[in-house]
C-alpha cells in the first residue's frame, strides 16, 4: 500500500503574486513585440528588419507565457483530487 504525504501548499497571496508576475512578463513580451513592429514601420524606407531570430523568440515566449497564464488560471478552477 502506497501512502502519499500531503505536500505543503503555497499561501493564496504567494499564488496570486506568481500569477501577477506571469501576467507582467506576458505584458513585457507584448511591449517588446510592439516596439519591434513600431521600429519596422518607422524605418520601412530603410528596409530595416530586426531578424528572424528576434521575431521567432518573441513569438515563442509570448505564446509560451499565454499558455502558462491560462494554465495557472485554469488550475484554480479544476478539481485537484485523485479518483481511485
Give tens-digit pLDDT for 17-72: 888 887 888 788 888 888 888 887 888 787 767 777 777 887 788 888 788 777 77
What's this model's pTM, rounded to 2 decimal places?
0.57
Q: Which residues contact 43 (CB under 8 A, 6 or more apart)?
A: none
CA 74 remoteness from chain centre: 14
**SS3 letters across 25-77:** HHHHHHHHHHHHHHHHHHCHHHCCCCCHHHHHHHHHHHHHHHHHHHHHHHHHH
pLDDT reported for residue 23: 81
pLDDT at 35: 86
Amino acid at each position: 500500500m502506497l501512502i502519499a504525504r500531503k505536500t505543503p501548499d503555497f499561501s493564496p497571496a504567494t499564488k496570486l503574486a506568481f500569477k501577477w508576475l506571469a501576467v507582467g512578463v506576458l505584458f513585457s513580451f507584448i511591449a517588446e513585440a510592439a516596439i519591434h513592429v513600431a521600429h519596422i514601420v518607422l524605418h520601412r524606407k530603410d528596409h530595416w528588419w530586426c531578424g528572424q531570430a528576434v521575431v521567432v523568440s518573441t513569438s515563442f515566449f509570448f505564446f509560451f507565457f499565454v499558455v502558462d497564464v491560462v494554465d495557472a488560471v485554469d488550475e484554480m478552477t479544476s478539481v485537484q483530487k485523485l479518483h481511485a
